[in-house]
Amino acid sequence: MNVEQFIRRFAEQFDETPTHDFTVDTRFKENDEWSSMTALSLIAMVDESYSVRLTGDDIRQSSTIKDIYDIVSAKIPNQQA
């Protein structure tokens, strides 16, 4: 699992904020675009790209993109390169 690629995929769920605004430390819930719809898109992206089931509580407990990245990494059954 590649962190740069993860940030890019994460950023794609935001329609207006430019991708380069996002880093591992970005506190994504402070972004004006963040909403329940972005959360659902994030869940769908993680499901599609990593076959991982991210929950609402996972998102609630997270502040930064790194937090989500760590949760997804931990849930990947056979660690991909």
Partner 1 sequence: MADYTYNFTGKTILVTGASSGIGKQICLDCAEAGATVIMLGRDEERLKQLLYQLEGGSHQVITGDLKDEQFIERACQGLPLLDGVVQSAGLMKLVPLKFINAAFIDEMLAVNLRAPILLLSALQKQKKLKPASSIVLLSSVNGVAVGSLANSVYGATKGALQSFCKSASLELAKTNIRINCIAPAMVNTEGTAKISEHVSAEAIEADQKNYPLGRYGTPADIAGCCLFLLSGAGSWITGSTITIDGGFTAQ
The site for partner 1 (CB under 8 A) is made up of: 36-37, 39-41, 43-45, 48, 53, 55-57, 59-60
Question: Would you say 30 or 81 has its CB closer to partner 1?
Answer: 30
Backbone angles phi, psi at 3, to 5 degrees: -70, -40
Can you tell me the distance from the alpha carbon of 49 to that of 25, in angstroms, rounded to the nearest whole number? 21
Question: Would you say 44 or 76 has its CB closer to partner 1?
Answer: 44
Least distance CB 37 / partner 1 (angstroms): 5
Least distance CB 29 / partner 1 (angstroms): 12
Q: ∠13-17-23 over CA atoms, to 5°?
A: 80
If you count DSSP H runs as helices and E runs as strands, how many of each does the chain have, helices first? 4, 0
Question: Would you say 24 or 45 has its CB closer to partner 1?
Answer: 45
